[in-house]
């Protein structure tokens, strides 16, 4: 499979007067054509920092310290401002949790769609733009006669659908979804994601999906990358992470979700709290919270072990019978 996105050795720092933290540390991953990759991990592990870096939307104090990002073969970090303007929306677009609030509440939806088409040189013809927008709206489940409405007349779910329609307006190769439906109720969440995945088949784009809801992630993603304290510690197909994870952190994370476990009555959870990025220990970052940790874990950073396309960074991985 051809890769749409290739991220190599990406490190991102937050440089503040109180010192600097490396929020993303030497992260590499790729996403193939029409593939969807989920990024999972506890709050603060660096997921959004990666997402914003991919679009070069990161702002100070965030600083990309090292690495290489290629999208469709284009060196993203080398783009100038004008190239970046065209690159966003046309090559990659992003829908985040509060994206629905980015719509101007007092400008008709129709006009907001038209501005996207005009700004990116797709069309200056209002009727052409209207037809394109109407189709996009229908695709995300909004009747096209609502184009003349103002966003303040829409529910939260409809506004988020409209934003997704806009994100797909220029047929990007990659759609980044960062907690896109978290503010919405579960039925609406699932319906919106189902539509996005149907559109993925039709428009043939790839997806980077970030969510705290592991059950949604397992349902909608081909591959899942598990992050802990700025690093990807395991990557494998969703079904492998679900049934036979190798890293104890992946195991703990999926066991924190009762909906993934069927009819269990209690959640195991993960003891302790996420790592303070200002105090990185010398061995494995997860050792202090890990039920499989031994002396070597506290001394040495684990080397990456590959199994086909999958990998995990662990001295004492779980055996399939333990998962
Ligand atoms: N503006 C900032 N200034 C300083 N440090 C920051 C800033 N934003 C983020 N960080 C640091 O970067 C780390 C990663 O943050 P990020 O938002 O990428 O995590 P996340 O995994 O997306 O979390 P969440 O799931 O809560 O959105 C945080 O733990 C924090 O230490």
Q: What is the mean pLDDT of the chain?
A: 93
Residue 48 CB less than 6 A away from ligand 1: yes
Residue 51 CB less than 6 A away from ligand 1: no
For residue 114, report the distance from its CA to the centre of ligand 1, in Å. Answer: 34
- Which band of pLDDT confidence, cut at 50, 70 and 90, is reported for residue 13? very high
**C-alpha to C-alpha distance for 223 and 234, rounded to whole angstroms:** 11
Residue 181 CB less than 6 A away from ligand 1: no
Residue 45 CB less than 6 A away from ligand 1: yes
Residue 16 CB less than 6 A away from ligand 1: yes
Residue 44 CB less than 6 A away from ligand 1: yes
Q: Is the pLDDT of residue 259 over 70?
A: no
Q: Which CATH superfamily is domain 3-206 in?
A: P-loop containing nucleotide triphosphate hydrolases (3.40.50.300)
Label residues 268-305 b or e (16+ Cβ within 10 Å = b): eebeeebbebeeeeebbbbbebbebbeeebeeeebeee
Over residues 170-186, the mean pLDDT reads 92
Asked if residue 162 lies in contact with residue 109, where contact means CB atoms within 8 angstroms, the answer is: yes
* 3-class SS string, 4-42: EEEEEEEEEEEEECCEEEEEEEEEEEEEECCCEEEEECC
- Would you list the domain boundaries of the chain? 3-206, 222-322
Reading the block at residue 264, the tokens are 């269990």
Say which residue, 212 or 210, is predicted with more confidence.
Answer: 210
For residue 197, report the distance from its CA to the centre of ligand 1, in Å. Answer: 28
Q: Cα separations (Å) of 22 from 50, 64, 132, 177?
A: 12, 10, 43, 23
| pLDDT value of position 263 | 59
Residue of 23, 38, 209, 273 with the most ligand 1 atoms within 8 Å of its CB, for mutation: 23
Name, in order, each residue with C-beta under 8 angstroms of 29's C-beta and a sequence gap of 6 or more: 7, 37, 225, 232, 235
- End-to-end Cα spacing for the chain: 29
Residue of 15, 40, 48 with the most ligand 1 atoms within 8 Å of its CB, for mutation: 48
| pLDDT value of position 262 | 61
Q: Relative to the CA of 52, which ligand 1 atom is closest?
A: 18
pLDDT tens string 117-155: 999 999 999 999 999 999 999 999 999 999 999 999 999
Nearest to 242 by CA among 217, 205, 273: 217
Q: Which residues pair with 15 in a beta bridge?
A: 20
Name the residue at shortest CA distance from atom 16 of ligand 1: 46
Name the residue at shortest CA distance from atom 30 of ligand 1: 44
Backbone dihedral angles phi then psi of residue 17, each to the nearest 5 degrees: -65, -25
For residue 256, report the distance from its CA to the centre of ligand 1, in Å. Answer: 21
What pTM value is reported for the model? 0.95
For residue 282, report the distance from its CA to the centre of ligand 1, in Å. Answer: 22
């Amino acid at each position: 499979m051809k890769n749409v996105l290739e991220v190599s050795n990406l490190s991102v720092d937050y440089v503040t007067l109180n010192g600097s933290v490396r929020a993303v540390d030497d992260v590499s991953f790729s996403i193939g054509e029409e593939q969807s990759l989920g990024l999972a991990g506890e709050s603060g592990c660096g997921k959004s920092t990666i997402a914003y870096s991919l679009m070069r939307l990161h702002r100070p104090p965030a600083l990309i310290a090292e690495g290489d990002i290629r999208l469709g073969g284009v060196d993203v970090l080398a783009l100038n401002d004008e190239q970046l303007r065209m690159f966003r929306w046309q090559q990659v677009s992003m829908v985040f949790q509060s994206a629905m609030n980015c719509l101007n509440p007092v400008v008709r939806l129709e006009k907001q769609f038209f501005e996207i088409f005009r700004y990116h040189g797709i069309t200056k013809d209002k009727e052409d733009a209207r037809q394109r927008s109407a189709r996009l709206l229908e695709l995300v489940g909004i009747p096209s006669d609502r184009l003349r409405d103002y966003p303040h007349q829409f529910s939260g779910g409809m506004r988020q659908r409209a934003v997704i329609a806009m994100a797909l307006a220029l047929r990007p190769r990659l759609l980044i979804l960062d907690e896109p439906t978290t503010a919405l109720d579960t039925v609406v969440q699932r319906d919106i994601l189902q539509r996005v995945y149907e559109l993925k088949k039709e428009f043939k784009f790839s997806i980077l999906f970030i969510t705290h809801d592991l059950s949604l992630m397992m349902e909608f993603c081909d591959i899942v990358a598990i992050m802990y304290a700025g690093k990807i510690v395991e990557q494998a197909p969703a079904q492998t992470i679900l049934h036979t994870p190798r890293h104890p952190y992946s195991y703990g994370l999926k066991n924190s979700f009762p909906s993934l476990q069927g009819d269990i009555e209690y959640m195991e959870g993960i003891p302790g709290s996420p790592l303070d990025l200002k105090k990185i220990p010398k061995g494995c970052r997860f050792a202090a919270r890990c039920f499989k940790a031994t002396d070597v874990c506290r001394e040495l950073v684990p080397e990456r072990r590959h199994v086909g396309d999958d990998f995990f960074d662990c001295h004492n991985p779980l055996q399939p019978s333990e998962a």
